[in-house]
Amino acid sequence: MNTSPALPEHERTTGARPTGATDEATAAARVQQMFDTIAPTYDLSNHTLSAGIDRYWWSRAARSFRSTLARPEARVLDLCCGTGDMTLSLLKHRPRTPDAAPMLAVDFSHQMLARGAEKFRGLPVLPIEADALHLPIATASLDLVTAAFGFRNLANYEDGLAELFRVLRPGGQIGILECNQPEGLTGALYNLYFRQVLPRLGGLLSGQPAAYRYLPASVERFPRPPRMLQLIRNAGFQDATWTGYTFGTAGLYRATKP
């Protein structure tokens, strides 16, 4: 008889599971549909619900990769790019020279990517509609892959990390910026806002209350930093780190492909 205590959900979770999804295919389809639905109000809701702190998080994460971004030949992919705000933060550190490789921006929500493409108009960014678990990108072809607040929506985190490992060149880096559930008093205040205030306000702004009930649930399911770092190392990456932002309510995972 197994008497070991059951692991908390965020330690057992293999990927996102919106309400009603029982397998990876259904989970992916529901997430895709949800983001297509909220795309028209996504930027307004994000900036309002975070009190504008999301802009600081994108900027800080992008700055941490300046040395790679400054190389004209560097091949950079912003995964789960949504409406493109993280992509634009990265682009600020890219050289504007004819020999600079264009950035790639991938999302599987057509409506989100369409709004991002409008922001990319006239800029050296190539939007690509694709599934993060099956990227149409050659093996060992990229120098940097980032994902800002989208990785937790993947139907399988381990498969997602394996795909990032595949497309990176040796020495290439990942940067996963994600929400986190802090502990202690900060965690209690965070939970009060995230579980009670945010779903109601997000629902009012977007007209899609179910989507903003999913948001806190997806953060609660997502692995905490120690577990996520373990998954990153298990995928083959080295030098894995997590840097907390704003009292640990978000943070950046970094790692390198050997």
Residue 46's pLDDT is 83
Q: Comparing C-alpha atoms, which of 206, 146, 143, 142 is closest to residue 178?
A: 146
Per the DSSP assignment, residues forming a β-bridge with 127 are 105
pLDDT digits (tens, 9 = 90+) for 107-159: 999 999 999 999 999 999 999 999 999 999 999 999 999 999 999 999 999 99
pLDDT band at 2 (very low <50, low <70, confident <90, very high): very low
Kindly state the percentage of the chain with pLDDT values over 90: 73
Cβ atoms of 207 and 229 within 8 Å: the answer is no
**Domains identified in the chain and CATH numbers:** 20-181+224-256 (3.40.50.150)
Burial degree of 5 (CB within 10 A; 0-12, 13-18, 19+): exposed
Query: What's the CA gap between 170 and 161, in Å, rounded?
Result: 15
Q: Collect all residues with Cβ–Cβ distance below 8 Å to 226 and sequence separation of at least 6.
A: none
pLDDT digits (tens, 9 = 90+) for 175-233: 999 999 888 887 788 778 877 787 888 888 788 888 888 888 898 899 999 999 999 99
Cβ atoms of 172 and 145 within 8 Å: the answer is yes
Q: Collect all residues with Cβ–Cβ distance below 8 Å to 20 and sequence separation of at least 6.
A: 26, 30
What DSSP designation does 32 have?
Answer: H
Cβ atoms of 76 and 143 within 8 Å: the answer is yes
Query: What's the CA gap between 8 and 223, in Å, rounded?
Result: 10
Cβ atoms of 180 and 249 within 8 Å: the answer is yes
Residues 43-57 have a mean pLDDT of: 89
